[in-house]
Structure 1
Amino acid sequence: MRRSEMPTTTAAPTVTVRYWAAARAATGTDSEQRAGATVGEVVDAAVVAHPALGRVASVASFLLDGRKVTRDQTVAPGATVEVLPPFAGG
């Protein structure tokens, strides 16, 4: 295979992940750095590191740089992903 035909690999961007309420309790931290190409990949990496987060993440909402997004949203290097569990009260 010629060099020009070889597939290129690009490292996934590193982002800051901020955890709120039950997500913070599940991880034991309020924020950390994780890598992933999408919000879902970033969250999945966090769940691998913090298995207790899995239950919380399955019902959580996600913000990317302050905007509500789905797990399919791509992330850019240096972005901030926030994991927001459902809140009760009013």
Structure 2
Amino acid sequence: MAWQHGCMATITIRYWAGARDAAGVETDVVEAPTVAAALDRAAAARPGDAEYARVIGLCSFLVDGRRLGDADRTRPLTGPVELEALPPFAGG
């Protein structure tokens, strides 16, 4: 993962399954210093969209293919980063 202090990163949020349905797109691209900020910016682009907020709140996330821990949401990022939003899947 591209962690660094005080930088902005280009974050491509890739939505899977129900998260894609809630987002209405396959991907969003945002500039943000952290995963938390990227998710806030994506939500701000959908003001009042309670379904998007609900689904994203249930998602697990991968950053560049690695599982994102809760503490990692606020760690500074740099460089291009792919964030995958994985909603809970039926049966597991």
Give TM-score scaled by structure 1 length. 0.77
Aligned-partner residue type, residue 35 of structure 2: V
Q: CA deviation at 1:37?
A: 1.1
- List structure 1 segments (4+ residues) > 3 angstroms apart after TM superposition: none
Which stretches in structure 1 are left out of the alignment for 5+ residues? 1-9
For residue 38 of structure 1, report the CA deviation from its aligned partner. Answer: 1.1
Greater alpha carbon shift after TM alignment, 67-76 vs 78-87: 67-76
Percent of aligned positions with the same letter in both sequences?
A: 40
Match of 1:44 among 40, 47, 60: 40
Quick one: which amino acid aligns to residue 83 of structure 2?
A: V
Cα distance between partner residues in 2 of 1:14 and 1:41:
12
Which stretch has the larger CA shift, 72-81 or 62-71?
Answer: 72-81
**More relative contact order, 1 or 2 (CA 8 Å, 6+ apart):** 2
Compared CA separation, residues 76 and 11, structure 1 to 2 (3 A): closer
1:12-27 correspondence to structure 2 within 5 Å: 12-27=8-23
1:85 is matched with which residue?
87
Structure 2 length as normaliser, TM-score? 0.76
Equivalence for 2:60: 61
| 1:32 alignment partner in structure 2 | 28
- Post-superposition shift, 1:75? 2.3
Distance between the aligned counterparts of 1:59 and 1:87, measured in 2?
11
- Letter in structure 1 aligned against 2:45: A
Aligned residues: 81
User: Larger C-alpha radius of gyration, 1 or 2?
Assistant: 1
Report the aligned-residue RMSD. Answer: 1.8
Q: 8 Å contact 1:13–1:35 — kept in the other structure?
A: yes
1:59 partner letter? L
Q: Which range moved further: 78-87 or 42-51?
A: 42-51
State whether residues 15 and 76 of structure 1, in contact with CA within 8 Å, keep that contact through their aligned partners in structure 2. no
